[in-house]
Amino acid sequence: MKNTARAHTNIALIKYWGKKDADLRLPLMSSISMTLDAFYTDTSLIIDTEDKKFILNGQEVTGQAANRVFAYVERLQKLFNVSGNFHVISDNHVPTAAGLASSSSAFAALAASFVKAYNLSISTKGLSILARLGSGSATRSVYGGFVKWNKGTNSSNSFAEVIEEKPQMDLRLLAVEVNVAEKKLSSTEGMKLAQTSPFFKPWIARNDEEIEQMETAIKNNDFTKLGQLAELSASEMHAINLAAQPGFTYFANETLEIIKLIQELRNNGLECYYTIDAGPNVKILCQKNSCSDIKKYVKNILPNVKIVEAGFGPGITYLY
Ligand code: ADP
Ligand code: DP6
Ligand code: CO
């Protein structure tokens, strides 16, 4: 039976960064993302095993990361009234916990694998809700293309929907891997701290307008508007973090160097924008014909960074 599920990571263009219910992972804002082809997670849930194990990239994981996975599977077991030990076997084709959205593909793939392993019939909407319980951003990785997560008001109406599954927009993402070590402050903890920032509330108040503008940019195939809005959303999130009490930042020196480069390239007529998640790595949004020039300019200032080029990826698939 096919219960190895593949889910692709997604990068938010309008960010999710704050919860109103931590246990249910209900967000304080709606968000919009693009699912990527270049980064993904494959996960198999093997049920009715003798013991409980989490194996990531071929190695057994213990401690906090394993507890998060065990608690998640046990939560789903309770929801569906099933029980028993299990092994979670997962391969990340994305750096783990480095701000490249590993939790989005991880929990979407795990939710999908759970549903298959127990032969449950569930809609894609239902799967999006289950994925959300593991990691908020995972709610969007159930779908491909441009995806919107409507914040909703409770667990049954907070899920993602497709805006465009196979977008025609000329849009590429260059993931500049500045540092792929596991971050010290998880996204879960970072977004909790962010709520102490005086800029948090005003940002939430802008969410409806930002979502509406991004949807319009997508509908109008307007790369410029999409890039401007995505960069603004990321800048707002990181400014909020700096002004939190206590303040913090996910930026490394190289993060700022790349931001400055992007501003300079733009001033010189090479159109590109940045978005950054909970980590030091920068994702550059650009169009096909400028990718190779931009890569060259980044390499000029940071010769040792790896740059991964990505386009639109699909939703959940089952491998075998
Ligand atoms: P990221 O920016 O990579 O999404 P997060 O802090 O949101 O970082 O989440 C990282 C955590 O997600 C890891 O510490 C681990 O608990 C979990 N995770 C990552 N990959 C997997 C996987 N393949 N299977 C299960 N859990 C995973
Ligand atoms: C900056 O979904 O990783 O990537 O729900 O606590 O697991 P938890 O957090 P997570 O947060 C993602 C934050 C972000 C923005 C985004 O993906 O929308
Ligand atoms: Co995450």
Q: Are 174 and 286 in contact (CB under 8 A)?
A: yes
* 1 pLDDT above the threshold of 80: no
Residue with tokens 């992972």: 25
In a shared domain, residues 214 and 79: no
Mean pLDDT, rounded, of the chain? 97
Nearest alpha carbon, ligand 1 atom 26: 106
Under the banding of pLDDT at 50, 70 and 90, the label for residue 320 is confident
Tell me whether 0.95 is exceeded by the ipTM.
Answer: yes
Nearest alpha carbon, ligand 2 atom 11: 187
What is residue 229's three-state secondary structure?
A: helix
In a shared domain, residues 33 and 46: yes
In a shared domain, residues 67 and 143: yes
In a shared domain, residues 182 and 284: yes
Q: How far is CA 284 from CA 92, 153, 209, in A?
A: 22, 33, 23
The response to whether residue 31 sits with its C-beta less than 6 Å from ligand 2 reads yes
**pTM (whole model) above 0.95:** yes
Give the atom of ligand 2 at the shortest distance from the alpha carbon of 149. Answer: 18
Query: Around Cβ 219, how many Cβ atoms within 10 Å?
Result: 11
What is residue 54's three-state secondary structure?
A: strand
In a shared domain, residues 219 and 159: no
| Number of structural domains found in the chain | 2
Q: Terminal CA-to-CA distance of the chain, rounded, Å? A: 6
In a shared domain, residues 149 and 187: no
**What pLDDT, on the 0 to 100 scale, is given for residue 3?**
82
CATH assignment of the domain containing 26: 3.30.230.10
pLDDT by residue (tens digit) across 125-178?
999 999 999 999 999 999 999 999 999 999 999 999 999 999 999 999 999 999
**What pLDDT, on the 0 to 100 scale, is given for residue 120?**
96
The response to whether residue 276 sits with its C-beta less than 6 Å from ligand 1 reads no
Average pLDDT over residues 196-213: 98
In a shared domain, residues 24 and 108: yes
Q: How far is the CA of 96 from the centre of ligand 1 (A)?
A: 6
Under the banding of pLDDT at 50, 70 and 90, the label for residue 2 is low
Kindly provide the residue ranges of all beta strands, DSSP E only, lying in the chain, ordered along the sequence: 4-14, 19-21, 26-27, 31-47, 53-56, 59-60, 86-93, 146-150, 159-164, 172-177, 273-276, 282-286, 306-310, 317-318
In a shared domain, residues 158 and 187: no
The whole-angstrom separation of Cα 110 and Cα 107 is 5
Q: Are 105 and 9 in contact (CB under 8 A)?
A: yes
CATH assignment of the domain containing 223: 3.30.70.890
Under the banding of pLDDT at 50, 70 and 90, the label for residue 229 is very high
Q: How far is CA 66 from CA 1, 55, 69, 79, in A?
A: 25, 9, 5, 20
pLDDT by residue (tens digit) across 69-108?
999 999 999 999 999 999 999 999 999 999 999 999 999 9
What is residue 3's three-state secondary structure?
A: coil
pLDDT by residue (tens digit) across 268-298?
999 999 999 999 999 999 999 999 999 999 9
In a shared domain, residues 80 and 160: yes
In a shared domain, residues 290 and 210: yes
* 255 pLDDT above the threshold of 90: yes
In a shared domain, residues 14 and 163: yes
In a shared domain, residues 26 and 117: yes
Question: Range of 113's domain?
Answer: 4-167+314-318
Average pLDDT over residues 15-19: 98
The response to whether residue 72 sits with its C-beta less than 6 Å from ligand 2 reads no
